[in-house]
Structure 1
Amino acid sequence: MHADVNSESPRVSVVMPVFNAAEWLRETCSGILSQTMADFELVAVDDASSDKSYEILESAARDDSRIRLMRSPQKGIVAALNYGIAESRGRYVARMDADDIMPTRRLELQADFLDRHAHIALVTGKIVYLGDAALNAGYARYVDWLNTFQTSNDFADRRFIESPVAHPSVMLRREVLRADPYRHGDFPEDYDLWLRLLQAGLSFSTVAEPVLHWRDHGARASRTDARYDIEKFYIHKSGFLAEWLRQRGLNKVVVWSGGRRTRRRIDALRAHAITIDQFIDVHPRRVGQVIQGVQVVSPESFFAGPKKFVVVYVSSRGAREAIVTSLNENGYTEGSNFICAS
């Protein structure tokens, strides 16, 4: 029986919802219980599993007093997360999924970082992708993109492109997680929370070491739950982007567009009363056209005129980086004169 922990107020609470994860659960628990920092509790919340998940956790809890096993009073990831957080007692709250692997120094690295940086609300770290990168190139590219983040500004400025952190990689200060921090809705619950925390002015950061081995498989909720459909991301974040713009006195913007599909997604931004002043497009055939009542101009023509705020709505990462370089070279600063979205 492991007893090297303050049972009343551990330094870290690891909150882990569990649903039918028997295939991976022993390996996941082994990684958590092998942490170099022992002062933590594992709050494992079973979400009506129909496999042997609960029995596996019961057996592990008999051998290690740091495991607190409970059943969620309501079904679903949001209810399980909110219940686990409400029951947790740690100064910091770390998220973990029941099918991933936690490197042995993760809790030590992240808790030490938060101890040293009082202004940081959430810390993540490097992600190791566990999956077929050739077969699932989109997920692998997403992990590569997450691993480029280095500063708090990276998280703030890139939040409207994709979710800026991997959910099971984070550690947060307890005080930023108010009662029932995750919301029910037709949207991804984690991205919604990150957008709300960033909108409130809180800062995210990262450590340089790996904090998660992220397992990609066909049963992952992001592949099976309709709330994680890509269009739900676009629709949900548009309201946060519109509010971010209004907070800066902007209700009219120029959009650097990636074509017809991108312009359809801009309709969600318009639905929040943001007016599109111009489209910027590099395609000669579209320059000079009026699309949806908006004039399409070339980058050269745009840069020759007065400076206007630009929303870069280009999804392709290589193209987006080239556009950011062009904007920088013409005196535009990310977060001040332009923001990237998708």
Structure 2
Amino acid sequence: MRLCIGISFYNAGEFLDYAICSVLNQTYKNWKLLLLNDGSTDNSLDIAMKYQGDPRIEVLSDGENRGLIYRLNQLISLCESKYFVRMDADDIMHPLRLERQVSFMENNAHIDVLGSWAYSIDVTNKVCGILKVNSNPDSLMDVFSHSCFIHPSIMGKTSWFQEHQYDSSFVRMEDMELWARTILNSSFHNLQEPLLYYREIGVPYLRKYLQSMTGERILIRKIYGDAVSFIKYEKMMKTYIKSLIYIFFSLINGQKYLIRKRSCRVISFDYQCAMKELRDAIRR
């Protein structure tokens, strides 16, 4: 197999079918899909087991709840393909995602990790906007401005991921810590087209967001150390301000507004095209 797709899932029964169908509907077919159960208590495991008839799909379950970071490193250790592909259990791949990313990686051997833009979607699979990131992230500024990667959009060399594993001490910030640790000695790129449907609107998010901001402050301290630095304290202050803003908008039920604000508007023609491609991605 040319590539291995790793999906860890925990109580993702509402959306897991969509994620798996979007892999099956890829135009690129030379893949293996690892579905790793993280101790789900809903029907997620039953949903995953339905697809074991496809020889390219393997379902793994040890009955334990170990968390995403542990499972990501486990998936990487199990990958025997040239490329490792990330995806979350509640997201949807654009039908051309693997074809476009494999082609780019094969023609640009110096690239270690490749991401893309993404469509932002809600719980009803409605496209709400486009999330964009930098084409060639190469600095800590890119990391701390959250313009490095959309995490579940990435594909990379398996050897790179096995050499640079996720740090379990950075819960909700495991990707940001990884990019900060490696960006100066690695080659990153993002395709400037949305190849993922990224579910964020309508999903309960406040607790996770505050965890992310706490993790970001820990990362800032790790990167900048104990030295007194304007840049360090500016970045720290931004995390507190963003947390307060998010708490305020949560109290007035305005999270959707904040999430939409960080997305680019989808014009009418693009919206119709995006919705058609999404329906193609999840057809059974």
Q: Same fold judged by TM-score > 0.5?
A: yes
Partner of 2:217: 234
Structure-2 separation of matches of 1:255 and 1:181: 27
TM-aligned CA deviation for residue 258 of structure 1: 6.8
TM-aligned CA deviation for residue 190 of structure 1: 1.6
Match of 2:178 among 193, 197, 210: 193
TM-aligned CA deviation for residue 232 of structure 1: 2.2
- Residue 128 of structure 1 aligns to a residue whose secondary structure is strand
**Structure (1/2) with the larger helix percentage:** 2
Structure-1 separation of matches of 2:74 and 2:161: 12
Partner of 1:69: 59
Deviations 1:232-291 (A, max 9, x none): 213313422x37xxxxxxx886659979945989xxxxxxxxxxxxxxxxxxxxxxxxxx
Structure-2 separation of matches of 1:27 and 1:263: 33
Match of 2:87 among 80, 96, 99: 96
TM-aligned CA deviation for residue 66 of structure 1: 1.0
Structure 1 position 86 matched with structure 2 position 70: no
Structure-2 separation of matches of 1:257 and 1:161: 15
Structure-2 separation of matches of 1:184 and 1:236: 12
Q: Against the structure 1 CA distance between its residues 263 and 184, is the aligned structure 2 distance closer, same or farther, given a 3 Å change threshold?
A: closer
Deviations 1:63-82 (A, max 9, x none): x1111110256621112111
Structure-2 separation of matches of 1:172 and 1:13: 10
Match of 1:183 among 161, 167, 188: 167
- Residue 177 of structure 1 aligns to a residue whose secondary structure is helix
Match of 1:107 among 82, 98, 115: 98
Could you tell me whether the CA contact under 8 Å between 2:13 and 2:43 is conserved in 1?
Answer: yes
Of all paired residues, the percent bearing the same amino acid is: 25
TM-aligned CA deviation for residue 152 of structure 1: 4.0
Within 5 Å, which residues of 2 pair with 1:217-228? Answer: 217=201, 219=203, 223-225=206-208, 228=211
Structure 1 position 159 matched with structure 2 position 143: yes
Q: Which residue identity does 2:156 align to in structure 1?
A: L
Partner of 1:26: 17
Structure-1 separation of matches of 2:35 and 2:112: 23
TM-aligned CA deviation for residue 156 of structure 1: 5.4
| TM-score (normalizing by structure 2) | 0.72
| TM-score (normalizing by structure 1) | 0.61
Which segment is superposed worse, 75-84 or 17-26?
A: 75-84
Could you tell me whether the CA contact under 8 Å between 2:120 and 2:200 is conserved in 1?
Answer: yes
Structure 1 position 14 matched with structure 2 position 8: no
TM-aligned CA deviation for residue 83 of structure 1: 1.4
- Residue 43 of structure 1 aligns to a residue whose secondary structure is strand
Q: Which residue identity does 2:159 align to in structure 1?
A: E
Structure-1 separation of matches of 2:83 and 2:41: 31
Could you tell me whether the CA contact under 8 Å between 1:74 and 1:80 is conserved in 2?
Answer: no
- Aligned pairs, number: 236
Partner of 1:216: 200
Q: Against the structure 1 CA distance between its residues 69 and 180, is the aligned structure 2 distance closer, same or farther, given a 3 Å change threshold?
A: farther
Which segment is superposed worse, 205-214 or 68-77?
A: 68-77
Q: Against the structure 1 CA distance between its residues 16 and 257, is the aligned structure 2 distance closer, same or farther, given a 3 Å change threshold?
A: closer
Partner of 2:188: 204
Q: Which residue identity does 1:237 align to in structure 2?
A: I
Contiguous gaps of at least 5 residues in structure 1: 1-9, 244-250, 266-342
- Residue 22 of structure 1 aligns to a residue whose secondary structure is coil
Could you tell me whether the CA contact under 8 Å between 2:135 and 2:190 is conserved in 1?
Answer: yes
Structure-2 separation of matches of 1:217 and 1:131: 4
- Residue 92 of structure 2 aligns to a residue whose secondary structure is coil
Could you tell me whether the CA contact under 8 Å between 2:5 and 2:34 is conserved in 1?
Answer: yes
Could you tell me whether the CA contact under 8 Å between 1:186 and 1:227 is conserved in 2?
Answer: no
TM-aligned CA deviation for residue 12 of structure 1: 0.9
Partner of 2:110: 119
- Residue 210 of structure 1 aligns to a residue whose secondary structure is strand
